[in-house]
């Protein structure tokens, strides 16, 4: 997930946000909704009324920690060589996901290309990892076993990986502590 200061980029590329805070808010909203959905599914299995499920869900909060990548310039679906911009980083977008960075390197031509790869660098690991904390003030949920929480988290991870976040992150894992 990335953001840019160029106001036209988020219109052209829906997965790109206008600020770091917008990325954080988007991720928090998606993760929280997924946790709600999992708890709702589990509550219905044990025949809890929707009002109770809703009350329990309202006593949860999610805090996401993520370092989004700022793209100063964006090149979409590049097929041939292209000059790198005078800004850094220049993000390469393929099918609405940033797949690499056009790097400035004075020792080589001032060009980037995907095939064969020239001056294309990977996205740093700090931009590929999300962590989060799920907190509850519900007395009953506070005493759930580690296994119960792990089942909620595992199911949420499955849903997130198969949905919107699966476009941006290739692998995911979660642990309950």
| Angle, in degrees to the nearest 10, between helices 20-45 and 146-162 | 120
pTM of the model: 0.78
Q: What is the pLDDT of residues 10-52, one digit of tens each?
A: 667 777 888 899 999 999 999 899 999 998 888 888 888 888 8
- Rg of the Cα atoms in the chain: 20
Output the CA angle 41-132-171, nearest 5 degrees.
Answer: 80
Q: What's the chain look like in SS3?
A: CEECCCCCHHHHCCCEECCHHHHHHHHHHHHHHHHHHHHHHHHHHCCCCHHHHHHHHCCEEEEEEECCEECCEEEECCCCCEECCCCCCEEEEECCEEEEEECCCCCCCCEEECCCCECEECCCHHHCCEEEEEEECCHHHHCCCHHHHHHHHHHHHHHHHHCHHHHCCCCCCCCCC
* C-alpha span between 155 and 159 (Å, rounded): 6
Output the CA angle 149-154-159, nearest 5 degrees.
Answer: 125
* C-alpha span between 132 and 66 (Å, rounded): 8
- Pairing relation of β-strands 16-17 and 2-3? parallel
- The pLDDT value recorded for residue 171 is 58
Q: What is the pLDDT of residues 120-173, one digit of tens each?
A: 788 888 888 888 888 888 888 888 888 888 888 889 888 888 876 776 665 556
* C-alpha span between 144 and 65 (Å, rounded): 24
Q: What is the pLDDT of residues 76-125, one digit of tens each?
A: 666 656 666 555 667 877 766 777 887 766 566 667 777 777 777 888 88
Domain ranges of the chain: 2-68+127-167, 70-123
């Amino acid at each position: 997930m990335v953001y840019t200061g160029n106001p036209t980029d988020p219109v052209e590329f829906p997965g790109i946000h206008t600020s770091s805070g917008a990325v954080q808010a988007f991720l928090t909203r998606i993760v929280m909704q997924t946790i709600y959905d999992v708890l709702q599914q589990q509550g219905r299995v044990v025949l809890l009324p929707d009002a109770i499920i809703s009350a329990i869900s309202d006593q949860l909060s999610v805090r996401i920690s993520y370092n989004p990548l700022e793209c100063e310039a964006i090149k979409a679906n590049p097929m041939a060589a292209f000059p790198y911009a005078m800004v850094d980083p220049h993000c390469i977008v393929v099918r609405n996901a940033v797949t690499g960075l056009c790097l400035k390197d004075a020792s080589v031509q001032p060009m980037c290309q995907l095939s064969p790869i020239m001056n294309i660098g990977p996205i740093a690991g700090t931009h590929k990892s999300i962590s989060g904390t799920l907190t509850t003030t519900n007395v009953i949920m506070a005493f759930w076993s580690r296994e119960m929480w792990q089942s909620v988290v595992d199911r949420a991870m499955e849903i997130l990986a198969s949905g919107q976040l699966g476009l941006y992150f290739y692998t995911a894992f979660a642990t309950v502590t």
